[in-house]
Structure formats: C-alpha cells, structure tokens
Chain A
Amino acid sequence: MNGIDTKLLVAMIANTAFRLAASADELSRIDAVAGDGDHGVNVSVAFADASARLAEARPAHPSDVFLIVGRSFSEGGGGSAGALFGAYFAALGKRLALAADPEVGSFAEGLEAGSLRVAGLGRVALGEKTMFDALEPASRAARDAVTAGGNFAVLVGAAAEAAARGAAATAGMVAKAGRARYAESGAVGTQDPGALSVSLMFAAWEEVVMKGTDQ
C-alpha cells in the first residue's frame, strides 16, 4: 500500500501544531540569539490555524491538506518563516495535485519541490544555517526511502531522522542568511530556529504515522 491517507495527513498537521506550540518558547529563545525572538510563536500559530481550517474543510485529496496549510502561512502573520513555509507547502500541495491518487513517489517529489522553492525564494544554499539545511536532507531521505521500496511510514521516518540530523548540524554553522547573519560569531553553537521547526514538524509527522502503523 503506497497511497497516502488524507485523514492521516490532517492528523499529522494537528500534531505539528501541538508539538510546535509545546516548543514555542524554546524556539523563540533560540531565535532571540540572532533574531527577534518571535519564531516559535509565529510558526506555532500558523500550524494551529492550519489545523483548525483542516478540521473544518475536511479535505478529500492529499494536495488540499498542504494547499490549506500553505494558505494559513500566506494569509497569516508572515515573516520569513511565513513566506518560506507558505511557499514550501504550496509547492508540495501543487505537486500532489498532479496525481488523482498520489502515492509515496509524488510525496517525495513534493517534498523536493518544496525544498527547492525554499532555496530559490530565500536565495540560500546548504550550510548557511537555515531551514533548508533540514528540508534538503529530509527530501533526499524521502526520495531514497521511495527508491528502496519504502511505504509512507518508512518515508516519513527517514525524513524525520534526516531533518533532525540536518537541524542539529546547523548548531555548528555560521549564519550567512537572514537576520542571524548579523549575530556575533553568526550564532555558532545555537541551532537555526527554522531548521529546528522543520525537524520538530517531521518528528510530529512520524509520531502520528507510527501510531497509525501500530494499530
């Protein structure tokens, strides 16, 4: 079974809202090292809004889930994170919309499309201490999981592990983009809050997917 369950996706977004709200203070604290300390609040509010919209909209197709999440970001607070997450989910949603019944291959391609859109919009490359340092390894791991014949749970698990490693590695990087680049020593020693949000998001997805698999 390589299809994607829309209801599962909705649960994944709800859990992302829950997990990011729980981590909002920590995310804001590390954002304040080099930025203005509002990252945790902004991102968790947008996911909570997305989750509420999804509960009401009851989407029928996997693409609708991510297009709605994208709109929560583009119609919401904004900021760098808003633009980047909004563009990421819009790209993922658009890719999934190309298939009547998208499978894991489409999902992996969607993650890659989203990741590339983030790199283009933010004009960033790997190693610059941004959310791209978590998104890119996650989409690469997702693609590898699909190539190896993995199902959706395997894909999400691999992406979560890669995103966590990517986010952890940002602690050792010198910021070259965004506000963090102005910090003394480029915020070395602190993870990038955007990358950490991405890794928390994939971890929240994995949590839901694993529960689904256990049942």
Chain B
Amino acid sequence: MIMRTRWMFNDRKNIVEEMLDGYIAAHSNLIALSNGLVVRASRKPEGRVGLVVANGTGHEPAMIGWVGPGLLDVNVPGPIFSSPGPAQIIAGIKEADRGAGVLLLVSSHAGDIMNATLAREEAVSAGLQVAMAILYDDIASAPSDRAEDRRGGPGLFFVWKIVGALAERGANLAECSEMARRVRDSTRSISGAMGTVVHPVSGQALGNADGTHLAVGMGVHGEPGTVVDDGLLADDVCEMLIDRLVEDAELTAGARVALMVNNSGSLTLMELSILYRGASAALKARGIGVSRSWMGSYATTLDQAGFALAISRLDDELLELYDAPARSGGFWMGEANS
C-alpha cells in the first residue's frame, strides 16, 4: 500500500501554528488568536459560564472550529494528537472566565484528563471557579459496565452543541456540568476505518487499517481497532454498527435520536451519504426515529479514510437546545448574534 509522504506545509515544527494563523484569518469575523488560544472575536457577556476544551490538534474542525456563539468560548490547541500542557490550559480557563465559573470539558483520553486535572488543581488553588466534566462516547473502547473507561469520539459534538446553548442562556456552572454528563450518557459512537494515517511530524503510520480491510473501533488518534471481514458491504457495516450502538444505549422502538455520520478525514461524500442511508435505514428498521441529522467532518483523524456513526438520544428539552442558534468556523445553525 502506498502511504502519503508529502504534505502541504512549510515546516514540520510549525504545522499547528501555521494552521491556527490560517484558520483564524479565514474566520476572523468569529474567532481570534490570543497567546496561542482560540477565542471568540466577541467575548460572551459577563455572568455566563465559560466553556473550554483543550485537546491535541489533527481533529479539525474539532475543536478550533467549535469556538463561537452557541458553542465553546475557548479552545486550547496542543500539538498533533497530544493534549496541551497545564500552563496553556490555565491560560484558557482565565480567558473564558466571565465571572460565573468555567467548565472544562474533557474528551476522555489519558493525556487530556491528566493535563486538565493538573490545570484545574492549580486554577482552583488560585481562587478560580472551575468544574470539569470527563466525556466519552466510544463504545468500542470499553464495555458498557465500565463506561467511565471509554474514550471520547466524534459524538461529543452533541455535548458541545447542547451545553453551548445552555451556557449561552445563562445556566449556572452546576447546571452546565450536569447537562454535559446527561448528554454524554445519552450519546454513543463507533468508528470504522480503512486507510492508514501517517503522523506528519513523526512520519509514523498509526493504527491497523491497511487500505483493504475494515478496522472497527479505531480511536480518534489511530488507536488500533478490530479488523473485520473485508467482504462487508456498506449496508452490512451500518447494520452491524447500528446494532451495537442501539444495544449499548438500550434504545427501544419509539426512541428519538440525533444521528451523526462523521468523516474521519478522506472519505468521499458519496460514501458518507451511502453510510447515512444505511445507518438511518438500520435505525428505522428498529423503530427508532431520526429527529436530527449531521453528516460531514466533525472530528477527524488527519486524512484517515474512515468514519464514525454516533447517536444521541433526544427528548423535548434536548431538542430545543439542539436547535438553538450557533455559529463557528465549522458549524452554523440559525441566527446567532450574541
């Protein structure tokens, strides 16, 4: 298999910095760069909870593309696939603090949790009000009775969206933290990947997809998955993965969900659409209604040829927050002029 060895960059060491410069310049009406932090061009009003996510890069548009009204206040971008350190996260917390406390939303990966924990310890001892919610959705990473050992995946965008809407309306820190956990517990995802990803800095091939077989359950940093029968058609794959998601979430006929078909990097929109077709049919066959749909690149693994299916159970309250306006570099919904 031929792996990519050429990229469009200038200097390996400055990939992240140059990406930030370019991405922010392209969205300067919405976001700005402040000492390496991605912040809103117009800060949230005083007295509202600030939302911060710190994460490794390589997942764009997550998370630099999720800063804006109705979504996050600050994103603290780290090196590729590597959490930023505590000092940067503390700077992000201070930037997001509008006098009502800051919620640090953490996608569950060892490095992200540890750096966020150190940052929170130090920020709290400096007198700041900081809560932390550890979020996960990837059912391939641990069984349901050890859900807290699961890692974060593309389905966490449901959390950013809903908690973002709630914080924008002035909910307090405890309410925002509680909502983050509630949406997390309603959300499940699972991935499938076919292509190898090469780390552009280290040059290492990640994961165990080989270009021919389908590896199910790879992580968002190319953590290896389980290679399954390579003869499966798209509909078979959707049936298999939706079955696992629905069973894990204990959904029964009559439930309503939001469905995400996420592009891990280089899948064609043709394939995404065919997967959406298969996934929604598999849900429908189980009597589960798809109330809202997202299809596209929400959390990528560089240019991986792969995808993830994510579902999040909805009720009327969540649906209303889900539909609230939001606007960021990577997402647009309704009118958001705050």
Contacts and interface: CB of A to CB of B under 8 A. Distances in A.
Contacts of A166: none
A41 B85 contact: no
B118 A74 contact: yes
A83 B111 contact: yes
Interface in B71-92: 78-88
A122 B81 CA distance: 18
A81 B111 CA distance: 7
Nearest to A42: B82
Interface stretch (A5-13, A106-114, A142-150, A179-187): A179-187
Given A32-B202, A34-B224, A37-B204, A77 B115 contact: no
Contacts of A75: 85, 87-88
Q: Is the interface of A mostly helix, strand, loop or mixed?
A: helix
Contacts of A178: 110
A37 B223 CA distance: 11
Interface residues of B, number: 34
A179 B114 contact: no
A86 interface: yes
Contact of B87 (A42, A74, A177, A184): A74
B302 to A, nearest CB: 10
Given A32-B204, A79-B56, A82-B111, A121 B117 contact: yes
Interface in B171-224: 199, 201-206, 208, 219, 221-224
Contacts of A177: 110
A84 B117 CA distance: 11
Interface string A178-204: 110011100000000000000000000
Contact of A77 (B78, B118, B226): B78
B141 interface: yes
Contact of B82 (A32, A38, A71, A184): A38
A73 interface: yes
B224 A184 contact: yes
A81 B56 CA distance: 13
A76 interface: yes
A38 B114 contact: no
B110 A78 contact: no
Contact of B88 (A31, A32, A36, A78): A78
Interface in A62-81: 71, 73-81
A87 B86 CA distance: 10
A83 B114 contact: yes
Contact of A79 (B111, B204, B208, B224): B111
A29 interface: yes
Interface of A: 28-29, 31-32, 34-38, 40-42, 71, 73-84, 86-87, 121-122, 177-179, 182-184
Interface of B: 56, 78-88, 109-111, 114-115, 117-118, 141, 199, 201-206, 208, 219, 221-224, 226
15 contacts: A28-B204, A35-B221, A36-B80, A36-B199, A37-B204, A37-B206, A38-B82, A41-B201, A42-B79, A77-B85, A78-B82, A82-B85, A82-B111, A83-B118, A122-B114
